Amino acid sequence: MAQLILLPDKERSVLRRHPWLFAGSVGRLVGQARPGDTVEVLSDRLKPLGRGAYSPASQVRARMWSFDPAEGIDDVFFKRRVAQAVARRQALADLRDQDGLRLIHGESDGLPGIIADRYGDTVVIQLTSAGAEKWRRAIVNALVQATGCSRVYERSDSEVRAMEGLAPVTGWVHGEAPAAPVTVLEHGVRMAVDVEGGHKTGFYLDQRDNRRLLGELAAGRAVLNCFCYTGGFSLQALAGGAASVLSIDSSGPALDQARANLALNPQLPAARAEWLEADVFQALRDFRKAGRQFDLIVLDPPKFAPSAAHAERAARAYRDINMLGFKLLTPGGLMMTYSCSGGIGIELFQRIVARAALETGRDARILKRLQGSADHPVGLACPEGEYLKGLLVQAD
C-alpha cells in the first residue's frame, strides 16, 4: 500500500476526523497509487493516521475511508459500512416506512463520494469520487444485500466527477428496468420518480419534512411555489387544503411531470392548481406589476453557488429572489425560503434574507429554521455536508 505523507502540522484536520485531505496538506506520495487506490495516511513524523482513497486529479487529494490505521478497506468494509447506514435509518421511526429514502449520505455515513437513494424496490446510486468509482461493485453488492432491493441504477453524471478526472456513468448496474414507472408515496401523496433523467437521483428527498410542513400551513391560503420542479411542494399544499396553488418552473418537461403527478392523486382538488412555464424572476416581477399577492410562498431555487468562490454572485441572486418574494407576500403571510448552495452558509443566508426584508420595507421574523430530513444527516466533523438550509419567515 502506498503512503501519503502530510506536511508538518497538517494532520490536525485528520485528528479531528475531517474526511478531506487537500493537496496543500500533502507532502509526498511514497510508492505507486492509481486514482481510487487506498493509501495509508501518515503525519510528517510518520505516525499512521488512517486510510483513504487517493485522487491525484482533485484538489481533495484523498478522502478518508477510515481513521483506524489498521482497518482493511475491502468488500467486507463496504458491506459493514453500508449495513450500518441502512440500520441507522431503520432505527428512526419517521424514516422506517418511507417509500423514498436516502440510504447513504456520503461523508456523513463514513462513505465519502457515495450517495444512495431508495425508491420502493429501486436503489439509485451516485458515485462522485475516485475511491467510490474504484469500489463500485462492492458498493452495489452491499446495497442489494442490505436492502433486498431488486434493481440498482447508477446516476454518476454529476459535474463533480470532472474534478476527480472521471467521466459520467449512467445505467442499470443490477437488475433490469422496471416495467412500470417508479413511484413513491410521501405523506399520502403519490409521486413518480424519473431515476434515469430527473434531477440528482430523480427526486429531492431532502425536502420531505419541509413539504409536510408546507401542507400543514397551507389550509385556506393562496400558495405560490417557485422553482416547483415536479410539484412536490405543490401537491402537499393541495393535500393540506390550500385555496389555490400557482407553481412556476422554467422547465416544460418538469411541469409535464408535475401535472402527471397530480393526475396520480385523484383525491386532490386539481381545479385549484395552476402551472406556469416561465423564468421565475421575470414571472415574479410581472406579478408585482399586476398587483398579485400570495399568502404562502415557497422559494426553492437551484444551486446558485456550487462553492464559496461563487458566494458573492450567488448572494445577489438570493437577495433578488427574496426581495421579489417579500413584495408579493400578503401582510402576515408566510414564506419558506431555501438555499441548497454549499458556498452559502446558514448565517450568510439569514443575512441575505434579512437584507431583502429591509430593502422591501417588511418587518419579518423567523418562525422556524429548516434543513434536510433525518436521512440527510450532517457529520459533526464535516459541517460542509450541510448544503440545504432554509427559513420559515412571517412578514407584516
Q: Which residues are part of the catalytic machinery?
A: 340
* CA atoms of 55 and 147, how far apart (whole Å): 30
Sequence-ordered list of residues with C-beta below 8 angstroms from that of 307, at least 6 positions apart, any chain: 342, 343
- End-to-end CA gap in the chain: 63
Beta bridge partners, 3, equal 30, 40
Residue 33 half-sphere exposure toward CB, CA atoms < 13 A: 27
Separation of CA 92 from chain center: 20
Q: Which of 80, 79, 62 is nearest to 25 (CA)?
A: 62
* CA atoms of 209 and 137, how far apart (whole Å): 32
* CA atoms of 163 and 172, how far apart (whole Å): 24
Which of helix, strand or coil describes residue 81? Answer: helix
A 10 A CB-CB count for 271 gives 8
Burial 112-150 (b: 16+ CB within 10 A, else e): bbbbbbbbbebbbbbbbbbbbbbbbebbbbbbbebbebe
Q: Which of 149, 116, 152, 156 is nearest to 133 (CA)?
A: 156
Locate all alpha helices (DSSP H) within 179-223, ordered by sequence.
208-217
Beta bridge partners, 249, equal 277
Which of helix, strand or coil describes residue 290? Answer: helix
